[in-house]
């Protein structure tokens, strides 16, 4: 790519990559830089739900919930390998919310978003029901409703891969260190991990830096503004599996918040989240003891089997970049986003807030705005099911079955995982291999060299952490010795790792 682009996107979280993909599909030349790994921050630290957000109905956020529910249907078609339906059980507690209120909320939830593929909600008896078995005996009835699960970091990487395949330049581990505006263009300076600088000229700049969005304006673009973001930390804990079935739970709390307990990575339960105002560096966010205790207590109110902080095998935290609507309570701050096109000189598009669920809509609206100032070709295109994300062309369960029929040596667990991480792209990992041994070095937990090499060549993975905690969650399943062997392999073969998608 030359030193001149139509759009320079800063930030490789879900919103940045979604905008880059939409822009390149509308005929614009695009460069995206991300100072760390793709989705290294908020976009890999979510609860991993593609959802309308049942609780936002209580805050009268009907437009946001409707928009998000409509997106659920769109995204299930575009990426069935990394997004799939998930049913939720809500045990009823009349002193927290009366049954009529829950029924009304679920009625709206079923009908606000043009639900087509997912089953509607219903009331259930918990006694004698496998869904009630892990719960304390005082919970007699509950409700079941639909939402969807997403592998958040993979969704971001797939958008980046598709943008790259359409011609965008994607630069992970590259920080935007300066952006100087003139009447007609932006002069942008990028620095790679080794500190090497490169300057390019862009017609328009997109600030998709999530929790850094205001800092970016102040310290890098030096643009006067009046924006504030409310940074709200959210943490999750992971414990050994607390129940056998495939439904998730949504637990109401006495402080009126809700906490999810979700089946995770087959052997685990994911519990989250918290809402804590945050004033530190978003890159250094960690769970604290109070949050761990809160999450343990939140599920101990419901499950027969109590957990304690010592049961936590992994935790992660992220910072929500929320629009500051001056709510007192952090959990009540709006989850909606705002796009702002500043044309006081070369165009600057700022992204404030947003959810994973609405990233595609946000990208579409961003490009509709940029189309006023840039020579785009064609209009909105990313909701077209004929343009799925890489690997999303087939149902992953059918794909796993087909692979096993063709390759009797392939284990059911590996076929399932590859189909749900890579979809049809998994063929590139399996290739012509005629046995597990032919997939190369085994790094534990059915991670083989063929997959590692694929991730490095096509998905910008460079470190063991990229592979074990973002491209996959195999970090939960491998031993420390396996992880060290993987790191050594990556370091030894670094010279062969220059290629990307
Ligand atoms: C605890 C929690 C739970 C959530 N759960 C859900 C959920 O279940 N469903 C849902 O839909 N949403 C959820 N969200 C919201 C969702 O995760 C975020 O809204 C979304 O990930 C924000 O993406 P982003 O691209 O704006 O920000 P980020 O993912 O943070 O990306 C911004 C990127 O910009 C980069 N950057 C910053 N400055 C520079 C620079 N100078 N140069 C280069 N790069 C730079 C950063 O490194 C960062 O990677 C949750 C959020 C949290 C915190």
Read off the pLDDT of residues 476-492 as tens digits, 9 standing for 90 and up. Answer: 999 999 999 999 999 99
Residue 423 has pLDDT above 80, yes or no: yes
pLDDT digits (tens, 9 = 90+) for 138-164: 999 999 999 999 999 999 999 999 999
* φ/ψ (deg, to 5) at 247: -85, 155
Cβ of 471: how many Cβ atoms within 10 Å? 26
Beta partners for residue 176, in sequence order: 190
The pLDDT assigned to 495 comes to 57
Strand ranges, E, within 255-384: 258-264, 268-272, 276-277, 312-323, 337-342, 348-353
Find out whether the beta carbon of 47 lies less than 6 Å from any atom of ligand 1: yes
Find out whether the beta carbon of 33 lies less than 6 Å from any atom of ligand 1: yes
CA distance 388 to 162: 9
Contacts (Cβ under 8 Å, ≥6 apart) of 206:
7, 8, 9, 10, 11, 16, 19, 348, 349, 351, 366, 370
pLDDT digits (tens, 9 = 90+) for 433-479: 999 999 999 999 999 999 999 999 999 999 999 999 999 999 999 99
Look at ligand 1, atom 50, and give the residue with the nearest C-alpha: 46
Find out whether the beta carbon of 234 lies less than 6 Å from any atom of ligand 1: yes
267 CA to centre of ligand 1 in angstroms = 27
Residue 117 has pLDDT above 80, yes or no: yes
Domains of the chain, CATH where assigned: 4-42+153-226+334-370 (3.50.50.60), 83-149+230-328 (3.30.9.10), 396-497 (1.10.8.870)
183 CA to centre of ligand 1 in angstroms = 30
Find out whether the beta carbon of 211 lies less than 6 Å from any atom of ligand 1: yes
Look at ligand 1, atom 35, and give the residue with the nearest C-alpha: 11
Q: Which ligand 1 atom is the nearest neighbour of the CA of 18?
A: 25
The pLDDT assigned to 1 comes to 46
pLDDT digits (tens, 9 = 90+) for 276-286: 999 999 999 99
The pLDDT assigned to 58 comes to 80
Find out whether the beta carbon of 274 lies less than 6 Å from any atom of ligand 1: no
Residue 500 has pLDDT above 50, yes or no: no
Find out whether the beta carbon of 43 lies less than 6 Å from any atom of ligand 1: yes
Cis bond before residue 172 (omega within 30° of 0): no
Find out whether the beta carbon of 15 lies less than 6 Å from any atom of ligand 1: yes
Q: What is the 3-state secondary structure (H, E, C) of 175-196?
A: EEEEEEECCCCEEEEEEECCCC
Q: Which residues of 271-303 are buried (b: 16+ CB within 10 A; e: fewer)?
A: bbbbbbebeeebeebebeeebbebbbebbeebb
Find out whether the beta carbon of 273 lies less than 6 Å from any atom of ligand 1: yes
Contact 75, 148 (CB under 8 A): yes
Find out whether the beta carbon of 16 lies less than 6 Å from any atom of ligand 1: yes
The pLDDT assigned to 170 comes to 98
Find out whether the beta carbon of 354 lies less than 6 Å from any atom of ligand 1: yes
Q: Which ligand 1 atom is the nearest neighbour of the CA of 357?
A: 11
The pLDDT assigned to 119 comes to 93
Pocket test of ligand 1: the residue of 113, 150, 209, 295 to mutate, having most ligand atoms within 8 Å of its CB, is 209
Q: Which ligand 1 atom is the nearest neighbour of the CA of 235?
A: 1
Find out whether the beta carbon of 360 lies less than 6 Å from any atom of ligand 1: no
SS3 422: helix
The pLDDT assigned to 48 comes to 98
CA distance 315 to 225: 36
The pLDDT assigned to 496 comes to 52
pLDDT digits (tens, 9 = 90+) for 261-270: 999 999 999 9
40 CA to centre of ligand 1 in angstroms = 8
Q: How far apart, in Å, are the Cα atoms of 451 and each of 80, 414, 417?
A: 20, 11, 11
DSSP conformation class of 99: H
CA distance 214 to 229: 7
Mean pLDDT of the 197-202 span: 97
Q: How far apart, in Å, are the Cα atoms of 238 and each of 28, 134, 262, 344, 375?
A: 42, 17, 10, 47, 47
pLDDT digits (tens, 9 = 90+) for 365-404: 999 999 999 999 999 999 999 999 999 999 999 999 999 9
229 CA to centre of ligand 1 in angstroms = 13
Q: Which ligand 1 atom is the nearest neighbour of the CA of 234?
A: 1
The pLDDT assigned to 189 comes to 98
43 CA to centre of ligand 1 in angstroms = 4
Find out whether the beta carbon of 271 lies less than 6 Å from any atom of ligand 1: no
Quote the tokens at residue 377.
Answer: 């070709």
Find out whether the beta carbon of 35 lies less than 6 Å from any atom of ligand 1: yes
CA distance 370 to 213: 18
SS3 377: coil
Find out whether the beta carbon of 175 lies less than 6 Å from any atom of ligand 1: yes
* 496 vs 127, more confident: 127
| Residue-averaged pLDDT of the chain | 94
pLDDT digits (tens, 9 = 90+) for 219-263: 999 999 888 899 999 999 999 999 999 999 999 999 989 999 999
* φ/ψ (deg, to 5) at 110: -70, -30
398 CA to centre of ligand 1 in angstroms = 32
Find out whether the beta carbon of 220 lies less than 6 Å from any atom of ligand 1: yes
Q: Which ligand 1 atom is the nearest neighbour of the CA of 356?
A: 11
Quote the tokens at residue 353.
Answer: 């807030």
Would you tell me the crossing angle of helices 480-492 and 449-458 to the nearest 10 degrees?
A: 50
246 CA to centre of ligand 1 in angstroms = 27
pLDDT digits (tens, 9 = 90+) for 295-349: 999 999 999 999 999 999 999 999 999 887 777 777 777 778 999 999 999 999 9
Task: For the chain, give the percent of residues with pLDDT over 70.
Answer: 98
Contact 237, 307 (CB under 8 A): no
Residue (of 281, 275, 277, 156) closest to 215 by Cα position: 281
Quote the tokens at residue 99.
Answer: 């049954």
């Amino acid at each position: 790519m030359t030193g001149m682009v139509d759009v320079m996107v800063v930030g490789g979280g879900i919103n940045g990559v979604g905008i880059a993909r939409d822009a390149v599909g509308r005929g614009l030349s695009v460069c995206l830089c991300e100072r760390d790994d793709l989705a290294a921050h908020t976009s890999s630290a979510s609860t991993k739900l593609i959802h309308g957000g049942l609780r936002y109905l209580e805050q009268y956020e009907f437009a946001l919930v409707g928009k998000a529910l409509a997106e659920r249907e769109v995204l299930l078609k575009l990426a069935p390998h990394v997004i799939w339906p998930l049913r939720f059980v809500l045990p009823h507690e009349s002193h927290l919310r009366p049954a009529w209120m829950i029924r009304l909320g679920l009625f709206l939830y079923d009908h606000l978003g043009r639900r087509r593929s997912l089953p509607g909600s219903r009331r259930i008896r918990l006694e004698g029901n496998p869904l009630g078995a892990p719960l304390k005996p005082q919970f007699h009835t509950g409700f079941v409703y639909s939402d969807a699960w997403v592998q958040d970091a993979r969704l971001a990487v797939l958008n980046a891969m598709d943008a790259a395949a359409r011609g965008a330049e994607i630069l992970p581990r590259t920080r935007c260190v300066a952006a100087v505006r003139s009447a007609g263009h932006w002069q942008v300076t990028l620095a790679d991990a080794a500190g090497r600088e490169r300057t390019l000229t862009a017609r328009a700049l997109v600030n998709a830096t999530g929790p850094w969005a205001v800092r970016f304006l102040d310290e890098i673009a030096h643009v006067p503004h009046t924006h504030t973001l409310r940074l709200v930390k959210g943490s999750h804990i992971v414990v050994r599996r607390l129940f056998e079935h495939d439904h998730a739970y949504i637990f109401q709390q006495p402080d009126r918040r809700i906490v999810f307990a979700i089946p995770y990575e087959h052997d685990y339960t994911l519990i989250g989240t918290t809402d804590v105002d945050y004033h530190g560096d978003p890159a250094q966010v960690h769970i604290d003891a109070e949050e761990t205790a809160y999450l343990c207590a939140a599920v101990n109110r419901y499950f027969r089997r109590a957990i304690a902080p010592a049961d936590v095998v992994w935790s992660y935290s992220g910072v929500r970049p929320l629009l500051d609507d001056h709510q007192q309570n952090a959990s009540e701050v709006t989850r909606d986003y705002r796009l702002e096109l500043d044309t006081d000189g070369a165009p600057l598009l700022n992204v404030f807030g947003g959810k994973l669920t609405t990233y595609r809509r946000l990208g579409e609206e961003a490009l509709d705005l940029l189309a006023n100032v840039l020579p785009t070709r064609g209009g909105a295109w990313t909701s077209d099911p004929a343009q799925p994300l890489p690997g999303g062309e087939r149902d992953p369960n059918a794909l796993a079955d087909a692979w096993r029929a063709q390759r009797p040596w392939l284990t059911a667990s590996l076929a399932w995982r590859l189909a749900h991480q890579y979809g049809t792209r998994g063929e590139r990992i399996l290739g012509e291999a005629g046995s597990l041994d032919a997939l190369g070095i085994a790094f534990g937990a059915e991670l083989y060299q063929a997959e590692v090499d694929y991730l490095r060549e096509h998905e910008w993975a460079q470190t063991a952490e990229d592979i074990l905690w973002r491209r996959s969650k195999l970090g939960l399943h491998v031993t420390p010795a396996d992880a060290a062997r993987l790191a050594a392999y990556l370091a030894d073969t670094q010279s062969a790792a220059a290629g990307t998608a």
